[in-house]
Amino acid sequence: MKRFWALAAVATLVVTSCVTDHHNDPAGPNDQDGQDDPIEDGVVMVNGSRWATRNVGESGEFVEKPEDFGGYFTLAEARGACPAGWRLPTVAEFTGITSVDTNEWMVVDGVAGTRFGSTEYANPGLIFLPAAGERSADGTVVEAGEKGVYWTYSGDYLLLMEGFFSLDGEITPVACSVRCIDENSGIYRITNR
């Protein structure tokens, strides 16, 4: 009987050491092959970078749903708006999501915006950026539902409208949206926030 319990204990150790608790695993519950999963709660992998699926609302907090507009931030405010572990993307990282095979203007739950990403079977990852407009100098929000303006760390911005998007920096908006990227994502890492 002692031998039976010893074997049972060893079998239990072997089985439990092979089981991973994915509840706190940043790779997500579907990570069976050791590779980064393209989608997990609040994160989507697009072109090698981990993007937040939602805009920033109040500084340091994401909004509830991907189609929620979130807050409007000046560039100085935007540089500190992402929650801990997140940062503003670079121009190159925004170029990374706009250069993949999907970029389409669409309406999600009544909110217009652009969906970027890849539908490639081996590496899917889609991100929706709502057309939240921008806040003007007098504090009013203008062109919501018609265009989206998203800050990069350098002060350039992604401008998106129906059938059009570009990375620009010529006319600086007063305040616009923030979409964050995992601070350890991409080939460019910003060390000074």
Helix, coil or strand: residue 170: coil
> What are the boundaries of each domain within the chain?
38-182
CB 93 within 8 A of CB 186: yes
Tens of pLDDT, residue by residue over 99-110, are 777 889 999 999
The pLDDT tens digits of the residues spanning 14-70 come to 332 332 232 222 333 333 334 443 335 688 888 778 999 999 999 999 999 999 999
Neighbours of 10 (CB within 10 A): 10
Distance (Å, whole) CA 21 – CA 28: 10
At 146 the pLDDT is 97
| Mean pLDDT for the stretch of residues 157-172 | 84
Which H or E element spans position 92? helix 91-98
Residue 122: predicted pLDDT: 55
What is the distance in angstroms between the CA of the first residue and the CA of the last residue of the chain? 63
Lowest mean pLDDT among 18-27, 51-60, 75-84, 88-97: 18-27
Residue in 183, 167, 160 with CA at minimum distance from that of residue 79? 183
Q: Report the distance separating Cα 112 and Cα 12, nearest Å.
A: 52
* pLDDT: which is higher, 116 or 9: 116
Distant-in-sequence, close-in-space partners of 193: CB < 8 Å, separation ≥ 6: 79, 80, 87
Average pLDDT, the chain: 77
3-state secondary structure of 10: helix
CB atoms within 10 A of CB 32: 10
Q: How far apart are CA 55 and CA 177, in angstroms?
A: 7
What pLDDT is stored for residue 117 in this prediction?
80
Spell 62-94 as b/e; 16+ CB within 10 A means b: bbeebbebbbbbebeebbebbeeebbbbbbebb
Q: What angle do CA 69, 74, 76 make, to 5 degrees?
A: 130
